[in-house]
């Protein structure tokens, strides 16, 4: 294999993936996705949709999940930097309600594999960021659920700088806690 560096996380199923980058005097080249290499690494997911978003510093999106049509996601940043978070919402999991976060940036080229039944969110740390992700199921309107980003029972340590003003969508300010959502 050799084209992917795989880091497993303390929460089973989550992986930080760093593709090999080839630099020369023209710039760089990297394979950002290769199904054969992913399968060798134990990821046998078929992705059916790619999404891209752009956000400014302080934008916090999440924590989102799909209720009836859960998606595996492979996320990365192609411009700027974000702090990306996954929260285990698998019923019966020994790590239910636990979170893991990783800095993803255009510079470090890291990708984050988030399996089905995890809530997902990110905070933009740079002045501007473009976020790209693959999904294993199509978007289904009305299927999205969420958990409040600052749920004290989850305790995510968002790296919010003193001079950073958080920007959330109206919807993201109205999600309930983990306990309320999965009562």
Catalytic residues: 64, 133
Per-position DSSP letters for 87-120, written without gaps between them: EE--TT-TTTT-EEEEEEETTT--EEEE-SSEEE
Token pair of 32, please?
């950002």
Distance from C-alpha of 50 to C-alpha of 130, rounded to nearest angstrom: 13
- What residues contact 46, with CB distance under 8 A and at least 6 apart? 136
Number of H helices, E strands in the chain: 2, 13
């Amino acid at each position: 294999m050799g084209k992917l560096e795989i880091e497993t996380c303390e929460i089973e199923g989550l992986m930080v993936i760093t593709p090999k980058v080839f630099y020369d005097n023209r710039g760089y080249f990297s394979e950002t996705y290769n199904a054969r290499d992913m399968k060798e690494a134990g990821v046998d997911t078929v992705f059916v949709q790619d999404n891209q978003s752009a956000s400014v510093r302080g934008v916090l999106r999440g924590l989102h999940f799909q209720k009836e049509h859960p998606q595996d996601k492979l996320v990365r940043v192609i411009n700027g930097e974000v702090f990306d978070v996954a929260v285990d919402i698998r019923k019966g999991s020994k790590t239910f309600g636990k979170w893991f976060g990783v800095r993803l940036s255009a510079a470090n080229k890291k990708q984050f594999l988030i399996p089905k039944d995890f809530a997902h969110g990110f905070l933009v740390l740079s002045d501007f960021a473009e976020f790209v992700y693959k999904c294993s199921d199509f978007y289904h309107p009305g299927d999205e659920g969420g958990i409040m980003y600052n749920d004290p029972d989850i305790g995510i340590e968002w790296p919010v700088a003193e001079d950073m003003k958080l920007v959330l969508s109206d919807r993201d300010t109205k999600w309930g806690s983990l306990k309320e959502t999965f009562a």
